[in-house]
Amino acid sequence: MGGTLTSLRIEIGGSLDSDAYEVDEQLLDLRSALLELDVETVDRVAGSPAPVGAKGSAELAGALAVSLSNSAVLVAVIRVLQSWIGRGKGRRVVVRFGEDAIEVDAATAEQQAKLIETWVGGHAGQ
């Protein structure tokens, strides 16, 4: 992930009783939090259903495309996602990097830290 831009797709999911307005507000809240980081761009993905066959695709409600230039920013993005998930019941996020994906949800902080460390480490040199 040296000096070249890397694109992530961040797909959000909420509780099954969330309506379109609530999902939209959640997406805007997350976008705002991500823009506070040293990311290049955070763009809303228009008409963003999850890819066919994606785990939990029916529950994913919206998506953002994030461009960043180094693995330190990737770690910060994941930390913001963890914080965002903790602020709402039933929230979850899937982060896609090419064909690889990681789901960030309400697991314990220790479980998430280990998972994230492994996943980020696998992409640090890309």
Q: Provide CB contacts within 8 A for 102, sequence distance 6+.
A: 94, 95, 115, 116, 119
Question: Looking at the domain assignment, is residue 1 inside a domain?
Answer: no
CATH code for position 16: 3.30.70.1430
Query: Domains in the chain: how many in total?
Result: 1
pLDDT digits (tens, 9 = 90+) for 47-58: 644 444 444 443
Which pLDDT belongs to residue 1? Answer: 47
- Mean residue pLDDT of the chain comes to 75
Tell me how far apart the alpha carbons of residues 41 and 68 are, in angstroms, rounded to a whole number: 7
Which pLDDT belongs to residue 66? Answer: 94
- Weakly modelled stretches of the chain, pLDDT under 70: 1-5, 14-18, 47-61, 105-126
**The domain containing residue 106 runs over which residues?**
6-123
